[in-house]
Structures are given as structure tokens and as C-alpha cells.
A = this chain, B = another copy of it.
Amino acid sequence: MAEVNLNQTIRCIVKLGGAAITCKNELEKINEENLETVSSHLREAMILESCSKKVIGMDWSKRAGVSDVSASLSDFGDQGQFNVDFSRFIVVHGAGSFGHFQASKSGVHKGGLNQPLVKAGFVATRISVTTLNLEIVRALAREGIPSIGMSPYACGWSTFERNVASADLSGVTKAVDSGFVPVLHGDAVLDHSLGCTILSGDVIIRHLAEHMKPEYVVFLTDVLGVYDRPPTDPNAVLLREIAVDEDGGWSVVKPKLESTNKQVEITVAAHDTTGGMVTKISEAAMIAKLGIDVYIVKAATTHSLRALSGELRRHIPDDWLGTIIRFSKEVGQVNSSPS
């Protein structure tokens, strides 16, 4: 695939983890509070210093429980002339409690589109994940972020044995060049070998990062970062920094683990059809290998706001909680800079 020709570089690609923005144990339920905070953080991180701070809402549609759709429109009387410039972000979100039920019930991730149950599950999965996509686009638009939903299947993404086989990135590029913030998501797609499969948000992020070379990538999750064992374990230690070498191998740089076994224990939730933490760390390592810093951080916290703002690229404060994954020519060398 050809490199994408961008007028300017992408500042940041953000993953909104499914677990952070949905209520994972309740079917198709959005974590409204988190989503609202994340949207507001994104606005704060994206907006350029010189601009008006006034929010110009861009969701003029009816909402359950909200009577007046035109309230946001009245702002244009005095604010419409001020252009708000947003720096170049791309948002990708996971599915959380949307899509997983439909996908796992039908086995869409295993392929076999000619089976009636799989075909029905493919349609049902896409309905569920596009419902979530629309709600996220709306939440961002209410914060004045000019968000544009781009559904990977419909935008020409397909896979071969679950790896990205085709992806028309020109639409994403044009949207960014036009001042929009594209919002992609994990999706059911056609697979040239299996018939169909699930393309996870993490794989999308890695593909976008490879071709669009953002300055940094942020994964917003529901825990503080990556731990050395399941975070529910009282002895779990938050890994502050992971170094990735040229071969994509990775090791924990900070904190110095007492155990000689530095292999991080990972858990894969049974219902997570796209692989959970294993996928996340290996995808993140692939991104870091390109010289792009990756921050894994808890959504809707001051830590995630700092990560989104890009300030960690210059200096990592001691009170910042999260996991940094970055390239190091010599693994083990602390605080190496990815140039």
C-alpha cells in the first residue's frame, strides 16, 4: 500500500477502548459520564491556543430526554464568525458491550459468510457497532468537535487471514485535510481467506499509525495502564514504561521488577473476540517500533488528559500514572528518546 500524502502530519491517533466508554456488563449500554468527559478532554487537547474556547455544538439532532434541538444553534448569532481550529486527530473506538454479543453468538470472527447464522451475525454486528459509532460521533459533535463517522467495512477495509488486506486511507486523509476528525471503529469486514472476520480497533490503529505516522498514539482504557498481572490481583504492579526494540520485542524498563520473570501476565476476557490485552500490547509494540510513542492510560482522568495533550512527549512527570511504550535501540536503556 502506498504511503499517504498528507498536507500536514497527524498529531494524534486516539483509541477509545470499548471498556472505557461502554458499560461492559450491560448489553449496548454507553458509559455516558465517561464518554462526556473523554469528549471534553479531546476538545481541550485538540483545540489550538489562539481559538475561542466557546463550544459550538454540532449535533442538531433529537435526543432522548432533550426537548430543544435548536439550543446549540442560537450560539451562531455571536459565535458563528469565529473559526475554531482543531489540530489533526483521528479517533478509533472499540466495541465494548456493542457488537461482541452479536459477533460471538454467530462466530463472525471465525468466518464462513455462506452460513446463514454467520451472515445474519455479520449484519447484526454491524448494526450494533455502527449504533455505537453514531453515538460517539454525536458526543464529540456536542463538544464542538467536527467528527465524521467512517465505518471501516463501508470505507473499503478488508482483511486476509485477519490482517489488513486493503484500506482506502484517502478518505480519512481527505476528511482530516478538510478539518474533520474521522471516527473509525472495530467492525465486521470481508476476509479474502475466511469469508469474513472482525477487524479490531487496535489493528486499525496500527495500520493507520504505520501509514499516517502520527506524532503519538493514546489508548484510553478502563484501568490505569498495563500491569504485570491481572489488575484485579492485589499484588499487580503498574508498568510505567515498556521499551520496544527493532525486532518488536519488548521489556519492562520501569519499574524495575523484583521477579526475574519479566514476562507480563496477561488475561484475555472470554467474551473479547478480538484478543484483549495480548492484541493491545503487541499492536502497541508494533507502533512504538516505528518511533511513535504510545500511551496506555485510564480514560476520563487527569492522566489521560495529559497524555492526549502531548505534554508527555517532552517530559514525563513522576505523578503521571499510565504506561508508556516506546522505541529504544537498546532495550533496557531507560528514557531513550525516539528522536
Binary interface profile of A, 59-96, with partner B (CB < 8 Å = 1, else 0)? 11110100001000100100111111000000000000
Smallest distance from the beta carbon of A8 to chain B beta carbons, Å? Answer: 16
- Knowing A124-B60, A131-B61 are in contact, say whether A178-B190 is a contact too (CB < 8 A): yes
Task: Name A168-182 residues within 8 Å CB distance of B.
Answer: 168, 170-171, 174, 178-180
A105 within 8 A of B: yes
Stretch at the interface among A150-158, A227-235, A239-247: A150-158
In the bound complex, what is the Cα–Cα distance between A124 and B180 (angstroms)? 12
A56 within 8 A of B: yes
- Knowing A154-B154, A168-B156, A190-B178 are in contact, say whether A76-B128 is a contact too (CB < 8 A): no
- Knowing A114-B83, A117-B80 are in contact, say whether A127-B134 is a contact too (CB < 8 A): yes
Question: Once the chains bind, are A150 and B156 in contact (CB under 8 Å)?
Answer: no
A159 within 8 A of B: no
Question: Once the chains bind, are B81 and A116 in contact (CB under 8 Å)?
Answer: yes
Which B residues lie within 8 Å of A168 (CB)? 156, 168
- Knowing A128-B61, A134-B130, A154-B155 are in contact, say whether A123-B148 is a contact too (CB < 8 A): yes
Question: Once the chains bind, are A180 and B61 in contact (CB under 8 Å)?
Answer: no
Question: Once the chains bind, are B60 and A105 in contact (CB under 8 Å)?
Answer: yes
Smallest distance from the beta carbon of A91 to chain B beta carbons, Å? Answer: 14
In the bound complex, what is the Cα–Cα distance between A135 and B165 (angstroms)? 30
Which B residues lie within 8 Å of A69 (CB)? 27
Which of B73, B117, B123 is A105 in contact with, Cβ under 8 Å? B73
A268 within 8 A of B: no
A58 within 8 A of B: yes
A40 within 8 A of B: no
Which B residues lie within 8 Å of A61 (CB)? 28, 102, 124, 127-128, 131
A120 within 8 A of B: yes
Question: Once the chains bind, are A123 and B151 in contact (CB under 8 Å)?
Answer: no
- Knowing A127-B141, A151-B151, A154-B154 are in contact, say whether A58-B120 is a contact too (CB < 8 A): yes
Binary interface profile of A, 114-155, with partner B (CB < 8 Å = 1, else 0)? 111101111110111011001001100100101111110111
Which B residues lie within 8 Å of A292 (CB)? none
Binding site for B on A (CB under 8 A): 27-28, 56-62, 64, 69, 73, 76, 79-84, 101-102, 105, 113-117, 119-124, 126-128, 130-131, 134, 137-138, 141, 144, 146-151, 153-156, 168, 170-171, 174, 178-180, 190
A–B Cβ pairs within 8 angstroms, 10 of them: A58-B127, A61-B127, A76-B117, A76-B120, A81-B116, A113-B178, A120-B144, A123-B146, A154-B171, A174-B190
